[in-house]
Structure 1
Amino acid sequence: MGAVSPSYKGHRYPVEQTYANALRRRQPQPGDKWHLDEVFIKINGRLRYLWRAVDQDGTLLDILVQNRRDTAAAQRFFRRLLKNTGAVPRVAVTDKLRSYGAAHREVMPSVEHRQSMYLNNRAENSHQPTRQRERAMKGFRSVGGAQRFLSAFSGISPHFRPRRHLIPASHYRAEMTVRFAIWEQITGTAGLPTAP
């Protein structure tokens, strides 16, 4: 990801977000089973909540950094998710946080809602790259900075992380060649000479 060089000091990430949006536009329509989860993140030493939704294939649908994890926060995330994806799932899978149930009844009453601490591993596992980046950056400095960075990072990082354990090495190499070609096309670096 040589073209991505975000500043980690609370600055905006407009170029990276443009790249992330371009990659997302190339993704297929989201699946009909959505997994939603929230985790604590530290921002300037204070605990905040990172809400994340992925589909059954692990494709990121949206993220939102919020100060709370109450019903109002869950409703805000649900509404943003529906607006940004332009789709309605068949099934929404969450953990047993009560806020999810209340928000579901208000925002998506026609969608089947499954609550289980065991069914939601797909969403919980999707937080791992964020945790790795959080450690590398020694935490985030502001809610807005975390939202901007994670929104861009979560759109770009999966592009370079196909599920390698599911495909043979030759297919993986071919897939990565295609993905780097797409990246060069999006960033405008296609055809430029590479550094020796």
Structure 2
Amino acid sequence: MDLRLGPHLRMTSGSWRGDETYVRVKGRWMYLYHAVDARGQTIDFLLSAKHNAAAARRFFRKALKQAHTVNPCTLSVDKNAAYPSAAKIMKNNGELWRFAKLRQVKYLNNIVEQDHRRIKRLVRPGFGFKSFHTARRTIAGYEVMATVRKGQVAVIPANDMSAQATFVAALFGVAA
């Protein structure tokens, strides 16, 4: 779904908000990293079993590879100690712009925190997931549909539900 939707997305801004939340997978808590831009557009997500600098670096690398993203000028994150070390390593390796500013301020992430609510609301009735791969694929579906609903697709407006349904049907070659 991500691959089919990618070419149709609007470009994101250079101000990113990143955060992580917890999702229960097979009775264990896993970490769902999530990033949105200043306008609330979804950049990317990553489900990880670990909550460390390597996972944060993997998440930022994945987000930077997306066709609809730009290298961020500012990265606003919470007080997690993994983010500064991940950003420092990525700047040294040339993966992240060396003048990118990392801001660790609790209240600047309200946009991404509100985005977590949608995932939690969809996951909670199912009592979590039975496998890691099922969780990753299901959350990818949730994210794609939320991206369409938010109006990130360049060819359709955010409030035109019939156009969104027609677009998704055309994307997968099914009748609407």
Same fold (TM over 0.5): yes
Q: 1:66 aligns with which of 44, 48, 60?
A: 48
Q: Give the greater-gyration-radius structure (CA).
A: 1
Q: 1:183 aligns with which of 159, 165, 168?
A: 168
Q: Which runs of 4+ in 1 moved over 3 A?
A: none
TM-score when scaled to structure 2? 0.83
Pairing 1:25-174 to 2, within 5 Å after superposition: 25-85=7-67, 87-107=70-90, 108=96, 109-160=98-149
Unpaired segments of 5 or more residues in structure 1? 1-16, 163-170
Question: Percent of aligned positions with the same letter in both sequences?
Answer: 27
Output the aligned Cα RMSD: 2.2
CA deviation vs aligned residue, 1:134-160 (integer Å, no higher than 9, x gap): 112220112222112111220123323
Pairing 1:1-40 to 2, within 5 Å after superposition: 17=1, 20-40=2-22
How has the CA–CA distance of structure 1 residues 56 and 172 changed in structure 2, closer, same or farther, with 3 Å as cutoff?
Answer: closer
Q: Is the Cα–Cα contact under 8 Å of residues 23 and 156 in structure 1 kept in the other structure?
A: no
Between stretches 25-34 and 175-184, larger displacement belongs to 175-184
Q: How many correspondences in the alignment?
A: 165
CA deviation vs aligned residue, 1:38-77 (integer Å, no higher than 9, x gap): 0111111111100011111222111111111111111111
Q: Is the Cα–Cα contact under 8 Å of residues 21 and 33 in structure 2 kept in the other structure?
A: yes
Write the distance in 2 (CA, Å) between the matches of 1:68 and 1:181: 38
Q: Is the Cα–Cα contact under 8 Å of residues 33 and 46 in structure 2 kept in the other structure?
A: yes
Unpaired segments of 5 or more residues in structure 2? 91-95, 152-156
The one-letter code sitting in structure 2 at the alignment partner of 1:137 is: G
The one-letter code sitting in structure 1 at the alignment partner of 2:147 is: P
TM-score when scaled to structure 1? 0.75
